[in-house]
Chain A
Amino acid sequence: MVDNSTSLRLPRLELSKLMSQTMGLEKADAMVAEAMTALQLSTADVNQEEALRILEHIAAQPGLVGISARFAKGRVHLRWSNG
Protein backbone atom coordinates (compact mmCIF):
# COMPACT_ATOMS: atom_id res chain seq x y z
CA MET A 1 0.00 0.00 0.00
CA VAL A 2 1.32 3.44 -0.94
CA ASP A 3 1.77 5.84 1.95
CA ASN A 4 0.35 8.99 0.40
CA SER A 5 1.24 11.05 3.46
CA THR A 6 4.88 11.09 2.36
CA SER A 7 4.75 10.50 -1.41
CA LEU A 8 2.15 13.08 -2.43
CA ARG A 9 3.02 16.76 -2.32
CA LEU A 10 0.57 19.60 -2.83
CA PRO A 11 1.64 22.87 -4.47
CA ARG A 12 1.21 25.78 -2.07
CA LEU A 13 -1.30 27.47 -4.35
CA GLU A 14 -3.52 24.37 -4.29
CA LEU A 15 -3.51 24.54 -0.50
CA SER A 16 -4.55 28.20 -0.71
CA LYS A 17 -7.38 27.32 -3.09
CA LEU A 18 -8.91 25.12 -0.38
CA MET A 19 -9.80 28.36 1.43
CA SER A 20 -10.30 30.69 -1.52
CA GLN A 21 -14.06 30.16 -1.71
CA THR A 22 -14.57 31.99 1.55
CA MET A 23 -11.84 34.64 1.53
CA GLY A 24 -10.68 34.89 -2.07
CA LEU A 25 -7.47 33.44 -3.44
CA GLU A 26 -5.23 36.42 -2.69
CA LYS A 27 -6.18 36.52 0.98
CA ALA A 28 -6.01 32.73 1.31
CA ASP A 29 -2.54 32.64 -0.23
CA ALA A 30 -1.38 35.43 2.06
CA MET A 31 -2.60 33.46 5.09
CA VAL A 32 -0.76 30.34 3.90
CA ALA A 33 2.44 32.34 3.29
CA GLU A 34 2.22 33.90 6.75
CA ALA A 35 1.67 30.50 8.37
CA MET A 36 4.59 28.97 6.47
CA THR A 37 6.88 31.76 7.65
CA ALA A 38 5.74 31.27 11.24
CA LEU A 39 6.30 27.51 10.94
CA GLN A 40 9.64 27.99 9.18
CA LEU A 41 8.49 26.15 6.07
CA SER A 42 9.78 27.45 2.78
CA THR A 43 9.04 24.78 0.18
CA ALA A 44 7.00 25.36 -2.97
CA ASP A 45 4.89 22.35 -2.17
CA VAL A 46 3.90 20.57 1.03
CA ASN A 47 3.24 17.05 2.24
CA GLN A 48 0.14 16.11 4.22
CA GLU A 49 1.69 16.69 7.62
CA GLU A 50 2.96 20.12 6.59
CA ALA A 51 -0.40 21.04 5.02
CA LEU A 52 -2.21 20.14 8.22
CA ARG A 53 0.27 22.12 10.35
CA ILE A 54 -0.27 25.17 8.14
CA LEU A 55 -4.04 24.88 8.34
CA GLU A 56 -3.89 24.27 12.10
CA HIS A 57 -1.94 27.51 12.41
CA ILE A 58 -4.54 29.43 10.38
CA ALA A 59 -7.39 27.68 12.23
CA ALA A 60 -6.33 29.53 15.37
CA GLN A 61 -7.56 32.76 13.77
CA PRO A 62 -11.00 33.93 14.93
CA GLY A 63 -14.13 33.93 12.78
CA LEU A 64 -14.49 33.00 9.17
CA VAL A 65 -10.76 32.66 8.46
CA GLY A 66 -10.28 30.12 11.26
CA ILE A 67 -13.39 28.13 10.37
CA SER A 68 -12.38 28.11 6.71
CA ALA A 69 -9.03 26.57 7.67
CA ARG A 70 -10.75 23.92 9.80
CA PHE A 71 -12.97 23.06 6.85
CA ALA A 72 -9.93 22.91 4.55
CA LYS A 73 -8.29 20.35 6.86
CA GLY A 74 -11.06 17.91 5.97
CA ARG A 75 -10.43 18.52 2.30
CA VAL A 76 -6.70 17.90 2.81
CA HIS A 77 -7.51 14.48 4.24
CA LEU A 78 -9.65 13.87 1.14
CA ARG A 79 -6.86 14.94 -1.24
CA TRP A 80 -4.42 12.54 0.35
CA SER A 81 -6.86 9.67 0.70
CA ASN A 82 -7.69 10.02 -3.00
CA GLY A 83 -4.00 10.15 -3.86
Chain B
Amino acid sequence: MALHVATALAGGAAQDAAGAIIKELGAQLGAHQPRLVVVFASTQQPLEAVLPPISKAYPQAVVLGSSTAGEFTERGDRKGHVSALAVSGDVGVSAGLGRGLGADADAAVRTAAAGLAPLDPTRPFRTALMLLDPLAGVSEEVTLLAAAHLGEKVPLAGGAAGDDLKMTRTFVALGNQVAHDALVLAALDTSEPLGLGVNHGHTPLSQTFTVTKAHGATVETINNRPAWDVWVEATQQDARARGMDPATLPAADVGAFLLLYEAGLDTGDGPLKIRAPLSKAPNGAISFACGIPQGASIRITRSVAQAQVDSARAAAAMAKKALRGKTPGGALVFDCICRNLILKDGFASAVDAIHKELGSVPVAGFETYGEVALNAGDMSGFHNTTTVVLAFPR
Protein backbone atom coordinates (compact mmCIF):
# COMPACT_ATOMS: atom_id res chain seq x y z
CA MET B 1 0.00 0.00 0.00
CA ALA B 2 1.37 3.39 -0.98
CA LEU B 3 1.73 6.44 1.25
CA HIS B 4 -0.76 9.26 1.06
CA VAL B 5 0.07 12.70 2.45
CA ALA B 6 -2.43 15.41 3.36
CA THR B 7 -1.83 18.89 4.75
CA ALA B 8 -3.96 21.57 6.38
CA LEU B 9 -3.57 25.15 7.59
CA ALA B 10 -6.06 26.95 9.83
CA GLY B 11 -6.33 29.98 12.08
CA GLY B 12 -8.70 31.31 14.71
CA ALA B 13 -9.42 30.05 18.19
CA ALA B 14 -7.77 26.75 19.10
CA GLN B 15 -10.97 24.68 18.99
CA ASP B 16 -11.97 26.20 15.66
CA ALA B 17 -8.50 25.67 14.19
CA ALA B 18 -8.48 22.03 15.34
CA GLY B 19 -11.91 21.50 13.78
CA ALA B 20 -10.80 23.05 10.50
CA ILE B 21 -7.64 20.93 10.45
CA ILE B 22 -9.64 17.72 11.00
CA LYS B 23 -12.09 18.71 8.27
CA GLU B 24 -9.40 19.55 5.73
CA LEU B 25 -7.27 16.47 6.42
CA GLY B 26 -10.39 14.32 6.24
CA ALA B 27 -11.34 15.78 2.89
CA GLN B 28 -7.93 14.96 1.44
CA LEU B 29 -7.50 11.54 3.05
CA GLY B 30 -10.96 10.25 2.16
CA ALA B 31 -11.37 6.73 3.49
CA HIS B 32 -7.68 6.41 4.41
CA GLN B 33 -7.00 6.53 8.15
CA PRO B 34 -3.74 8.35 8.94
CA ARG B 35 -0.96 6.55 10.84
CA LEU B 36 0.88 9.78 11.57
CA VAL B 37 -0.40 13.29 12.22
CA VAL B 38 2.09 16.09 12.94
CA VAL B 39 0.64 19.34 14.24
CA PHE B 40 2.47 22.68 14.42
CA ALA B 41 0.66 25.30 16.48
CA SER B 42 1.37 28.95 17.23
CA THR B 43 1.17 30.32 20.77
CA GLN B 44 -2.35 31.55 19.94
CA GLN B 45 -3.56 27.95 19.69
CA PRO B 46 -2.08 26.09 22.68
CA LEU B 47 -1.29 22.46 21.95
CA GLU B 48 -3.29 21.45 25.05
CA ALA B 49 -6.39 22.69 23.28
CA VAL B 50 -5.54 21.72 19.70
CA LEU B 51 -4.31 18.16 20.12
CA PRO B 52 -7.12 16.40 22.06
CA PRO B 53 -9.76 16.80 19.32
CA ILE B 54 -7.23 15.82 16.64
CA SER B 55 -6.11 12.76 18.62
CA LYS B 56 -9.75 11.81 19.15
CA ALA B 57 -10.51 12.17 15.43
CA TYR B 58 -7.62 9.88 14.48
CA PRO B 59 -7.46 7.07 17.07
CA GLN B 60 -5.22 4.92 14.87
CA ALA B 61 -2.64 7.67 14.40
CA VAL B 62 0.38 8.71 16.40
CA VAL B 63 -0.12 12.45 16.85
CA LEU B 64 2.95 14.63 17.38
CA GLY B 65 2.99 18.35 18.06
CA SER B 66 5.21 21.36 18.47
CA SER B 67 4.72 25.00 19.28
CA THR B 68 6.06 27.29 16.58
CA ALA B 69 7.24 30.68 15.40
CA GLY B 70 5.33 30.48 12.11
CA GLU B 71 3.33 27.84 10.28
CA PHE B 72 3.06 26.98 6.61
CA THR B 73 1.81 24.58 4.02
CA GLU B 74 1.94 24.67 0.23
CA ARG B 75 -1.03 27.02 0.48
CA GLY B 76 0.82 29.75 2.32
CA ASP B 77 2.97 30.99 5.19
CA ARG B 78 1.17 32.32 8.28
CA LYS B 79 1.64 33.55 11.83
CA GLY B 80 -0.83 32.69 14.56
CA HIS B 81 -2.04 29.56 12.77
CA VAL B 82 -1.91 25.78 12.97
CA SER B 83 -0.40 23.66 10.21
CA ALA B 84 -0.61 19.89 10.03
CA LEU B 85 0.54 16.96 7.95
CA ALA B 86 -1.02 13.51 7.97
CA VAL B 87 0.35 10.32 6.44
CA SER B 88 -1.72 7.23 5.73
CA GLY B 89 -0.75 3.93 4.14
CA ASP B 90 2.26 1.67 4.52
CA VAL B 91 4.02 3.26 7.47
CA GLY B 92 4.50 2.02 11.01
CA VAL B 93 4.77 4.77 13.58
CA SER B 94 5.86 4.58 17.21
CA ALA B 95 6.94 7.39 19.51
CA GLY B 96 7.97 8.41 22.99
CA LEU B 97 8.22 11.58 25.03
CA GLY B 98 11.09 12.34 27.39
CA ARG B 99 10.97 15.06 30.05
CA GLY B 100 13.61 16.84 32.09
CA LEU B 101 15.82 17.64 29.13
CA GLY B 102 17.77 20.41 30.84
CA ALA B 103 18.56 18.39 33.96
CA ASP B 104 19.46 15.10 32.29
CA ALA B 105 19.36 15.03 28.50
CA ASP B 106 20.66 11.47 28.39
CA ALA B 107 17.81 10.18 30.57
CA ALA B 108 15.20 12.16 28.63
CA VAL B 109 16.43 10.70 25.32
CA ARG B 110 16.41 7.18 26.77
CA THR B 111 12.84 7.65 28.02
CA ALA B 112 11.67 8.94 24.64
CA ALA B 113 13.48 6.16 22.78
CA ALA B 114 11.82 3.54 25.01
CA GLY B 115 8.59 4.36 23.21
CA LEU B 116 9.94 3.21 19.84
CA ALA B 117 8.79 -0.17 18.55
CA PRO B 118 11.28 -2.83 17.46
CA LEU B 119 12.07 -2.64 13.75
CA ASP B 120 9.51 -4.42 11.58
CA PRO B 121 11.28 -6.59 8.95
CA THR B 122 8.45 -5.94 6.48
CA ARG B 123 9.20 -2.21 6.72
CA PRO B 124 12.99 -2.17 6.85
CA PHE B 125 13.56 1.57 6.40
CA ARG B 126 13.44 3.50 9.67
CA THR B 127 13.55 7.29 9.76
CA ALA B 128 13.40 9.12 13.07
CA LEU B 129 11.58 12.35 13.68
CA MET B 130 12.48 14.52 16.65
CA LEU B 131 10.80 17.59 18.10
CA LEU B 132 12.52 19.25 21.04
CA ASP B 133 12.37 22.19 23.42
CA PRO B 134 15.33 24.41 22.52
CA LEU B 135 14.99 26.58 25.59
CA ALA B 136 16.34 23.67 27.64
CA GLY B 137 19.67 24.76 26.13
CA VAL B 138 20.93 21.35 25.04
CA SER B 139 19.63 20.98 21.49
CA GLU B 140 22.90 19.89 19.91
CA GLU B 141 23.63 17.48 22.75
CA VAL B 142 20.13 15.97 22.47
CA THR B 143 20.52 15.54 18.73
CA LEU B 144 23.78 13.64 19.16
CA LEU B 145 22.41 11.53 22.01
CA ALA B 146 19.31 10.61 19.98
CA ALA B 147 21.41 9.79 16.93
CA ALA B 148 23.73 7.61 19.00
CA HIS B 149 20.74 5.82 20.50
CA LEU B 150 19.07 5.25 17.11
CA GLY B 151 22.22 3.89 15.50
CA GLU B 152 24.16 5.03 12.47
CA LYS B 153 21.74 3.62 9.90
CA VAL B 154 18.74 5.69 10.94
CA PRO B 155 18.37 9.17 9.41
CA LEU B 156 17.10 11.77 11.86
CA ALA B 157 15.04 14.84 10.97
CA GLY B 158 13.19 17.38 13.04
CA GLY B 159 13.00 20.79 14.55
CA ALA B 160 13.22 22.82 17.72
CA ALA B 161 9.91 24.23 18.94
CA GLY B 162 9.19 27.97 18.83
CA ASP B 163 7.02 30.42 20.73
CA ASP B 164 6.47 33.26 18.26
CA LEU B 165 9.83 34.80 19.26
CA LYS B 166 8.75 35.35 22.87
CA MET B 167 11.66 33.13 23.95
CA THR B 168 9.89 32.20 27.18
CA ARG B 169 8.50 28.67 26.85
CA THR B 170 8.34 26.18 23.98
CA PHE B 171 6.37 22.94 23.90
CA VAL B 172 6.38 19.55 22.24
CA ALA B 173 3.59 16.98 22.36
CA LEU B 174 2.73 13.35 21.87
CA GLY B 175 -0.95 12.56 21.78
CA ASN B 176 -2.50 14.50 24.61
CA GLN B 177 0.78 14.87 26.52
CA VAL B 178 2.13 18.40 26.13
CA ALA B 179 5.43 19.29 27.77
CA HIS B 180 8.21 21.84 27.87
CA ASP B 181 11.79 20.92 28.78
CA ALA B 182 11.11 17.78 26.76
CA LEU B 183 11.61 15.98 23.48
CA VAL B 184 9.45 13.75 21.33
CA LEU B 185 11.10 11.02 19.30
CA ALA B 186 9.19 9.07 16.66
CA ALA B 187 10.18 6.18 14.41
CA LEU B 188 8.65 6.04 10.93
CA ASP B 189 9.08 2.55 9.49
CA THR B 190 8.48 2.23 5.76
CA SER B 191 9.06 -0.25 2.95
CA GLU B 192 10.80 2.45 0.88
CA PRO B 193 13.29 5.01 2.21
CA LEU B 194 12.17 8.51 3.04
CA GLY B 195 14.23 11.36 1.60
CA LEU B 196 16.11 13.81 3.83
CA GLY B 197 17.50 17.07 2.47
CA VAL B 198 19.28 19.92 4.24
CA ASN B 199 20.80 23.18 3.03
CA HIS B 200 21.48 26.79 3.99
CA GLY B 201 21.98 29.98 2.01
CA HIS B 202 25.11 31.42 3.61
CA THR B 203 28.50 31.91 1.96
CA PRO B 204 31.82 32.68 3.67
CA LEU B 205 32.70 36.36 3.94
CA SER B 206 35.65 36.47 6.33
CA GLN B 207 38.88 34.63 6.94
CA THR B 208 38.88 31.86 9.55
CA PHE B 209 38.91 33.07 13.17
CA THR B 210 39.46 31.19 16.41
CA VAL B 211 37.01 31.48 19.29
CA THR B 212 39.40 32.35 22.11
CA LYS B 213 36.94 32.73 24.99
CA ALA B 214 33.47 31.16 25.15
CA HIS B 215 31.09 29.63 27.63
CA GLY B 216 27.91 27.84 26.60
CA ALA B 217 26.29 29.78 23.81
CA THR B 218 28.20 33.02 24.49
CA VAL B 219 31.34 33.89 22.56
CA GLU B 220 33.28 36.58 24.39
CA THR B 221 36.43 36.89 22.33
CA ILE B 222 37.57 35.92 18.86
CA ASN B 223 41.29 36.03 18.08
CA ASN B 224 41.60 37.53 21.61
CA ARG B 225 39.42 40.55 20.72
CA PRO B 226 35.81 41.26 21.71
CA ALA B 227 33.62 39.20 19.38
CA TRP B 228 31.52 42.20 18.33
CA ASP B 229 34.61 44.18 17.27
CA VAL B 230 35.67 41.32 15.01
CA TRP B 231 32.15 41.08 13.56
CA VAL B 232 32.04 44.82 12.80
CA GLU B 233 35.45 44.85 11.16
CA ALA B 234 34.87 41.74 9.03
CA THR B 235 31.45 42.80 7.76
CA GLN B 236 31.90 46.55 7.38
CA GLN B 237 32.56 46.67 3.65
CA ASP B 238 29.73 44.31 2.73
CA ALA B 239 27.30 45.94 5.16
CA ARG B 240 28.04 49.44 3.85
CA ALA B 241 27.27 48.22 0.34
CA ARG B 242 23.84 47.25 1.72
CA GLY B 243 23.41 50.69 3.25
CA MET B 244 24.20 49.90 6.88
CA ASP B 245 27.21 50.70 9.03
CA PRO B 246 27.73 48.07 11.75
CA ALA B 247 29.95 50.44 13.74
CA THR B 248 27.07 52.85 14.31
CA LEU B 249 24.08 50.49 14.32
CA PRO B 250 21.24 51.42 16.69
CA ALA B 251 20.66 48.71 19.30
CA ALA B 252 17.29 47.89 17.74
CA ASP B 253 18.98 46.94 14.44
CA VAL B 254 21.68 44.66 15.84
CA GLY B 255 19.54 41.50 15.69
CA ALA B 256 18.66 41.96 12.03
CA PHE B 257 22.29 42.76 11.20
CA LEU B 258 23.53 39.58 12.90
CA LEU B 259 21.04 37.45 10.95
CA LEU B 260 22.64 38.65 7.71
CA TYR B 261 26.13 37.84 9.00
CA GLU B 262 25.96 34.53 10.82
CA ALA B 263 28.82 32.32 11.98
CA GLY B 264 29.89 29.28 10.01
CA LEU B 265 31.62 26.51 11.92
CA ASP B 266 34.58 25.26 9.89
CA THR B 267 34.09 21.49 9.95
CA GLY B 268 36.95 20.60 7.63
CA ASP B 269 34.85 18.86 5.00
CA GLY B 270 31.75 20.09 3.23
CA PRO B 271 29.76 23.25 3.85
CA LEU B 272 30.10 25.45 6.90
CA LYS B 273 27.69 24.58 9.70
CA ILE B 274 25.70 27.70 10.49
CA ARG B 275 25.48 29.08 14.01
CA ALA B 276 23.03 31.97 14.48
CA PRO B 277 24.23 34.99 16.48
CA LEU B 278 21.31 36.55 18.31
CA SER B 279 22.49 39.53 20.36
CA LYS B 280 25.50 41.47 21.61
CA ALA B 281 26.35 42.21 25.23
CA PRO B 282 27.75 45.52 26.50
CA ASN B 283 31.20 43.91 26.85
CA GLY B 284 31.23 42.98 23.16
CA ALA B 285 30.32 39.33 23.62
CA ILE B 286 27.87 37.75 21.18
CA SER B 287 25.19 35.25 22.22
CA PHE B 288 24.34 32.42 19.83
CA ALA B 289 21.39 30.08 19.37
CA CYS B 290 23.48 27.12 20.51
CA GLY B 291 26.86 26.36 22.02
CA ILE B 292 30.18 27.15 20.35
CA PRO B 293 33.15 25.61 22.18
CA GLN B 294 36.21 27.67 23.00
CA GLY B 295 38.88 26.87 20.41
CA ALA B 296 36.40 26.42 17.56
CA SER B 297 37.30 27.86 14.18
CA ILE B 298 34.61 29.95 12.55
CA ARG B 299 34.10 32.17 9.55
CA ILE B 300 31.63 35.02 9.32
CA THR B 301 29.19 34.42 6.48
CA ARG B 302 26.91 36.63 4.44
CA SER B 303 23.47 35.95 3.10
CA VAL B 304 21.26 37.45 0.46
CA ALA B 305 17.55 36.71 0.09
CA GLN B 306 17.78 34.86 -3.21
CA ALA B 307 20.38 32.49 -1.76
CA GLN B 308 17.90 31.60 1.01
CA VAL B 309 15.25 30.72 -1.56
CA ASP B 310 17.74 28.77 -3.68
CA SER B 311 18.93 26.81 -0.64
CA ALA B 312 15.35 25.79 0.21
CA ARG B 313 14.96 24.49 -3.31
CA ALA B 314 18.30 22.68 -3.02
CA ALA B 315 17.21 21.01 0.24
CA ALA B 316 14.05 19.79 -1.52
CA ALA B 317 16.10 18.51 -4.47
CA MET B 318 18.36 16.62 -2.06
CA ALA B 319 15.34 15.07 -0.31
CA LYS B 320 13.82 14.09 -3.66
CA LYS B 321 17.06 12.47 -4.80
CA ALA B 322 17.22 10.48 -1.57
CA LEU B 323 13.90 8.83 -2.50
CA ARG B 324 15.95 6.76 -4.96
CA GLY B 325 13.77 7.32 -7.98
CA LYS B 326 10.41 7.18 -6.20
CA THR B 327 7.99 10.04 -6.83
CA PRO B 328 7.54 12.40 -3.86
CA GLY B 329 4.10 12.33 -2.31
CA GLY B 330 4.56 15.09 0.26
CA ALA B 331 7.03 16.50 2.75
CA LEU B 332 7.57 17.80 6.23
CA VAL B 333 9.66 20.97 6.33
CA PHE B 334 11.58 22.42 9.27
CA ASP B 335 12.71 25.91 8.41
CA CYS B 336 14.44 28.34 10.72
CA ILE B 337 12.64 31.46 11.91
CA CYS B 338 15.90 33.30 11.15
CA ARG B 339 15.34 32.57 7.47
CA ASN B 340 11.85 34.03 7.78
CA LEU B 341 13.32 37.15 9.39
CA ILE B 342 15.83 37.48 6.55
CA LEU B 343 13.29 36.84 3.78
CA LYS B 344 10.29 38.60 5.40
CA ASP B 345 7.38 38.38 2.93
CA GLY B 346 9.66 36.46 0.57
CA PHE B 347 9.63 33.44 2.89
CA ALA B 348 6.51 32.16 1.15
CA SER B 349 8.50 31.95 -2.08
CA ALA B 350 10.99 29.63 -0.34
CA VAL B 351 8.13 27.34 0.71
CA ASP B 352 6.80 27.53 -2.84
CA ALA B 353 10.23 26.58 -4.20
CA ILE B 354 10.19 23.44 -2.02
CA HIS B 355 6.64 22.65 -3.11
CA LYS B 356 7.46 22.99 -6.80
CA GLU B 357 10.79 21.16 -6.60
CA LEU B 358 8.97 18.15 -5.14
CA GLY B 359 6.41 18.16 -7.96
CA SER B 360 3.72 20.38 -6.41
CA VAL B 361 2.94 17.86 -3.67
CA PRO B 362 1.55 18.77 -0.22
CA VAL B 363 4.12 20.19 2.19
CA ALA B 364 3.67 21.36 5.77
CA GLY B 365 6.05 22.68 8.37
CA PHE B 366 6.90 25.32 10.89
CA GLU B 367 9.43 28.01 11.58
CA THR B 368 11.80 26.60 14.14
CA TYR B 369 14.38 27.68 16.69
CA GLY B 370 16.80 25.13 15.21
CA GLU B 371 16.72 22.27 12.77
CA VAL B 372 17.71 18.62 13.05
CA ALA B 373 19.09 16.70 10.09
CA LEU B 374 21.39 13.75 10.28
CA ASN B 375 21.57 11.36 7.36
CA ALA B 376 22.59 7.76 7.85
CA GLY B 377 26.25 7.57 8.78
CA ASP B 378 26.98 11.29 8.77
CA MET B 379 28.09 13.57 11.55
CA SER B 380 25.94 16.61 11.03
CA GLY B 381 23.09 17.12 13.52
CA PHE B 382 21.70 20.34 14.91
CA HIS B 383 21.57 23.31 12.56
CA ASN B 384 20.69 27.01 12.56
CA THR B 385 19.20 29.11 9.76
CA THR B 386 18.82 26.01 7.66
CA THR B 387 16.05 24.25 5.76
CA VAL B 388 15.37 20.57 6.45
CA VAL B 389 13.03 18.66 4.13
CA LEU B 390 11.77 15.16 4.89
CA ALA B 391 10.07 13.79 1.77
CA PHE B 392 7.65 10.85 1.70
CA PRO B 393 7.42 8.68 -1.41
CA ARG B 394 4.04 8.37 -3.04
- Closest chain-A Cβ to B294's Cβ sits at a distance in Å of 8
A67 within 8 A of B: yes
Chain B CB within 10 Å, residue with most, of A13, A22, A70: A22
Contact B210 A21 (CB under 8 A): no
Contact present for A71 and B144 (CB under 8 Å): yes
Contact B268 A65 (CB under 8 A): no
Nearest opposing residue in chain B for A71, CB measure: B144
Interface residues of B in 266-317 (CB under 8 A from A): 266-269, 273, 291, 293-298
Number of chain A interface residues as a range: 20 to 34
Of all chain B residues, the one with the shortest Cβ separation from A65 is B293
CA distance A25 to B270 in the complex (A): 11
Q: Which residue of chain B has its CB nearest to the CB of A64?
A: B291
Judge if A75 is at the interface, Cβ distance under 8 Å. Answer: yes
Q: Is the C-beta of B16 less than 8 angstroms from some C-beta in chain A?
A: no
The CA of A20 and the CA of B273, in the complex, are separated in Å by 10
Interface positions, chain A 39-83, Cβ under 8 Å from B, are 63-65, 67-68, 70-72, 74-75, 78
Nearest chain-A residue to B106 (Cβ)?
A: A67
**B63-105 near A? 1/0 per residue, CB < 8 Å:** 0000000000000000000000000000000000000000000
Stretch at the interface among B121-129, B358-366, B374-382: B374-382
Contact residues in B for A68 (Cβ distance below 8 Å): 144
Instruction: Decide: A20 and B379 in contact? CB cutoff 8 A.
Output: yes
Q: Please tell me if the beta carbons of A27 and B151 are within 8 angstroms of each other in the complex.
A: no
Known: A18-B379, A64-B291. A26 touches B141 (CB 8 A): no
B265 in the interface (beta carbon within 8 A)? yes
Residues of A within 8 A of B233 (CB): none
Q: Mark B39-74 against chain A: 1 for CB-CB distance below 8 A, else 0.
A: 000000000000000000000000000000000000
Find chain A residues with CB under 8 A from B230 CB. none
| A19 and B148 alpha carbons, distance in the complex (Å) | 13
A10 within 8 A of partner (CB):
no
B145 on the A face (CB < 8 A): yes
Which of chain B's residues 244-267 have a Cβ closer than 8 Å to chain A?
265-267
| B377 / chain A contacts, CB cutoff of 8 Å | 75, 78
- Structural contact, B379 and A24, CB atoms closer than 8 A: no
Beta-carbon contact of B152 and A74 below 8 Å:
yes
State whether A75 touches B268 (Cβ < 8 A): no
Is B296 a contact of A23 with CB atoms below 8 Å?
Answer: yes
A26-B273 contact given A71-B147, A74-B151, CB 8 Å threshold:
no
Whether B296 lies near A24 (C-beta < 8 A) is yes
Please give me the residue from chain A that is nearest to B378 by CB atom.
A21
Asked whether B293 lies within 8 Å of A27 as measured between CB atoms, the reply is yes
A8 at the interface (CB under 8 A from B): no
Across the interface, name the chain B residue whose C-beta is closest to A13. Answer: B268
Which residues 355-394 of B have a CB within 8 angstroms of A? 377, 379-381
The reply to whether B141 and A63 form a contact with Cβ atoms under 8 Å apart is yes
Residue among A17, A21, A27, A63 making CB contact with B297, cutoff 8 Å: A27
Closest to B264 in A: A24
Q: Is the CB of A24 within 8 A of B297?
A: yes
Q: How far is the CA of A40 from the CA of B373 in the complex (A)?
A: 36
Please list the residues of chain B having a beta carbon within 8 angstroms of any beta carbon in chain A: 140-141, 144-145, 147-148, 151-152, 210, 265-269, 273, 291, 293-298, 377, 379-381
> Would you give 24 A-B contacts (Cβ < 8 Å), ordered by A?
A13-B268, A17-B267, A17-B379, A19-B379, A21-B273, A21-B380, A22-B140, A24-B267, A24-B293, A24-B295, A25-B297, A26-B297, A27-B294, A27-B296, A30-B295, A63-B141, A64-B141, A64-B291, A67-B145, A71-B144, A74-B152, A75-B379, A78-B152, A78-B377
Could you tell me which A residues sit within 8 Å of B by CB distance?
A: 13, 16-28, 30, 63-65, 67-68, 70-72, 74-75, 78
List the 7 closest pairs (A to B, CB-CB), nearest first: A25-B268, A24-B296, A26-B297, A27-B295, A71-B144, A20-B267, A21-B379
